[in-house]
Amino acid sequence: MNVLVLGAGQLARMMALAVKPLNINVRAFDVGSGNVFDPLSSNIVFGDLTQGIEFADFITAEFEHIDHQTLALCQASGKLRPSSQAIKVGGDRRLEKDLLVKCDVANAKHKIITTKADFDQALNSLTFPLILKSALAGYDGKGQWRLKDQTNAEEIWHDIKDFFDGGAQGVTNAVVAEQMVPFDREVSLVGARDSQGNTVVYPLTENHHTNGVLSVSIATQVNEALQAQAKQVFDSIANELNYIGVLAIEFFQIGEQLLVNEIAPRVHNSGHWTQQGADTCQFENHLRAVCDLPLGSTALVRPSAMINILGEEQVPNDILNVASTTLHWYGKSKRAGRKMGHINVSGKNEQELATRLQLLADILPEEAFDELKPYVTAYQNKLS
């Protein structure tokens, strides 16, 4: 079986590694260079997109911000999974909000802004504080503005207008203004749907962000009612999209209610723990779904956590002395804030996991993982 992945980053790399034992051959299309690579050895080039489409039995994507011409070519081949429309929804917050409304899924009160009149109306109809997010090309906290009250409204509008004016020619951008939600915590659900409509989901995962970028995810046994609520949302969205593959949904938890924050039509950073915490990781399950293979178990085998490595090309080797700790590097060149790799750690129960997280927090350099210790301390306090 041959699969072409649109995108040549770490997610394509981890897909390729996960499905080698299934005799699935993965190539990755680099949208920047226009070349098709071996995701495990980027110096091996297999031609361009046309040749990549010819090679593939199926085509999928590792990220959602793919130009529409590329998506159209892949959709026309009949090989693209999930569909181009599903990928577009993940890359355009306007389409995403329309989908959530259509599925009657709870999300933050919002307004779409394309003009100054829209901006003024949003400020008059929504309750402060507000977060304003670019409809296109926003990820990891980029393309966002926060507005506590009317004081800086004009300054922020001019910043947004400059952002619109500096965008790609011929592409109409917008901003989604949302009422900020006083949530208890951020959680996500990663699941898979196959071409027959069967769905499986992993346990809800608690997420902690640093400067808008995911830094820690923890997966443990969760409240069954909350898990069922998340599964119902997943099924509603995945079925509406006639989705095939892994889909991630980010939620705000407020008491016992979940509000959808964002969806990601792909394998997701908050699901990396599945490599060590589940029988079948998200990367394998994604390509099982895409390639019409039976979906694997998503049950939690043992409580697990993931720590992102951001902007660091090395970590102390001593972390490998901590039991059930696995290090995953992405083979990238160093850049400030860049996702360079991640650390997975597991325990036989939640308390053992917390103890091992504390050991890692004590070893990892505080300047590079500055919010890890306080988060782990708060997590341990919650368990005690």
Per the CB < 8 A criterion, the answer to whether 140 and 64 are in contact is no
In a domain, 95, yes or no: no
Q: Please, which pLDDT band fits residue 165 given cuts at 50, 70 and 90?
A: confident
Residues 43 and 66 reside in one and the same domain: yes
CA-based nearest residue to 150, from 177, 109, 187, 120? 120
Residue 276: which CATH number? Answer: 3.30.470.20
pLDDT at 138 over 60: no
Residue 76: which CATH number? Answer: 3.40.50.20
Residue 167: which CATH number? Answer: 3.30.1490.20
Query: Taking the model in full, what pTM does it have?
Result: 0.94
In a domain, 315, yes or no: yes
> In terms of residues, how long is the chain?
384
Final residue of a domain: which of 80, 98, 129? 80
pLDDT at 320 over 80: yes
In a domain, 96, yes or no: no
Q: What letter would DSSP give residue 147?
A: E
From CA 20, how far away is CA 138, in angstroms rounded? 32
Number of separate domains in the chain: 3
Rg (CA), the chain: 21
pLDDT digits (tens, 9 = 90+) for 71-120: 999 999 999 999 999 999 999 999 999 999 999 999 999 999 999 999 99
Residues 122 and 211 reside in one and the same domain: no
Per the CB < 8 A criterion, the answer to whether 52 and 3 are in contact is no
Which residue segment(s) compose the domain that 166 sits in?
A: 109-179
In a domain, 103, yes or no: no
Phi then psi dihedrals of residue 226, to 5 deg: -65, -40
Residues 147 and 281 reside in one and the same domain: no
Residues 261 and 357 reside in one and the same domain: yes
